[in-house]
Amino acid sequence: MTTGGEFAPGSFNREWCGYQRREVDAAIKQLTERLEQLTTDRDAALATADDVTRELEAARAELAEYRMLHAGYSKENTVSGTIRYLMHVARQKAEKEEQAAHERSEELLRQAREIAHRQAVLLDETEQETQRRLAEADRRAREIVADATAQARAIAADLVERRKVLDRWCAQLGIPVPREDDTDEPPTLAAPATAPPPPTTAPPAPSPPADAPPQPAPTAPPPGGPAQAAPAAPAASAADGS
């Protein structure tokens, strides 16, 4: 690789697997920039040549027209030739302005058609987007209604199942099933049909024999327990007392 900044073929430093990649990239970049500069200069030269060619053709056409205007006329009468030339130039200028106006009107008409076409396309796209959004909203609404209906059916089925369980529970406990208007009130136990008969008094205990040992005194029953009947006194004691 040369140090002067210019590319020289075959001047890359070699490495184990070939040339150095940085030097190759730098050389390619330099050649690319040079090629772009030459291309720009060429395009500018061609454009300048085209402009010069058009100006030369216009000058030749103007010279030919001037010669045609002055053909057959006396060279001494320069005033009439100048007037004819001025009239010819004015006529050409008017024709050019008319052509420019016609081209301008055609361009405006083309732009108006393009704008109308774009607006029509935009309206069509807007209508399509509106239809798409309406369809999406309708589909979403149907999904919401379907989900709500499914949830309502599931809740209704669950309520029916719970009512069946409540009916079985009430039937097992022997309590009335709550109605729809008093489901919040607690269930009440049903009163018995007939009151149970009062308990009867136990018959007196038989008298113990005369030679029986004395019985211990009766003890008080525990709290809440049934009352125990006191043992009967011996018959002998009863007889002595009488």
Summarised one tens digit per residue, pLDDT across range 203-236 is 455 555 555 555 555 555 444 444 444 444 444 4
Q: How confident is the model at residue 160 (pLDDT cuts 50, 70, 90)?
A: very high
**DSSP conformational letter for 182:** G
Average pLDDT, the chain: 73
How do beta strands 14-15 and 18-19 pair? antiparallel
Task: Tell me the pLDDT tens digit for each residue of 167-206.
Answer: 888 888 888 766 655 544 544 444 444 444 544 554 455 5
Q: Which residues contact 13 (CB under 8 A, 6 or more apart)?
A: 1, 19, 20, 23
Please tell me the number of Cα atoms within 13 Å of 181 on its side-chain side: 0
First-to-last CA distance in the chain? Answer: 157
Tell me the whole-structure pTM to 2 decimals. 0.29
- pLDDT at residue number 205: 52
Contact 69, 81 (CB under 8 A): yes
Residue 62, pLDDT above cutoff 50: yes
Domain boundaries, the chain: 1-72
Q: Can you give the pLDDT at residue 38?
A: 92
Which residues are 15's β-sheet partners?
18
